[in-house]
Amino acid sequence: MKVLYPGSFDPLTFGHLDLIKRAIDSFGEVIIAVLENPTKNSTFTVNRRLEQIKQATNQLSKIEIISYKGLTVDCAKKFQVDLILRGLRAMSDFEYELQIAHTNRSIDASIETIFLASEAHHSFLSSSVVKEVAMFGGNVDHMVPNLIANDLYEMFDIKYS
């Protein structure tokens, strides 16, 4: 079975990677779909995020990495996927994600959404938190893969090794 894991992944975190690995184990194939969202002010370009994800997942099989614009359900249909994967860290995520899942089902009832809870030690992680910590000079090595940490340090002119 194939599952679509959509998101902005700006940047990809260890929480995202954990969900990807668990989804491969549970469903077989995972399509990581990077949303090109014109309403968000992204830190990294779509092409850079795709490259970051490719490098961070190069040891994994059964994944495909794509970018898309528009509705997630349209992306799911294009790639013949009937299941959308979303991660949950806290109850506040559930309320938002449930609303999106219901919206997607109202657009196309054949598309299901499945939620995976993050591992407890990743429950604080979000791309926004990672960027904020890096922006203020904090170490993010325990939050994101090395390549992404280095990209953030370079972007915010921080010296870590």
The catalytic residues are 16, 40, 89, 127
- Which of 131-154 are b and which e, b meaning 16 or more Cβ less than 10 Å from the residue's Cβ? bebbeeebebeebbbebbbbbbbe
Long-range contact pairs involving 78-83 (C-beta distance under 8 Å, separation at least 24):
79/2, 79/4, 79/31, 79/33, 80/2, 81/2, 81/3, 81/4, 81/31, 81/111, 82/110, 82/111, 82/112, 83/1, 83/2, 83/3, 83/4, 83/27, 83/111, 83/112, 83/113, 83/114
Run of H or E residues at 94: helix 91-107
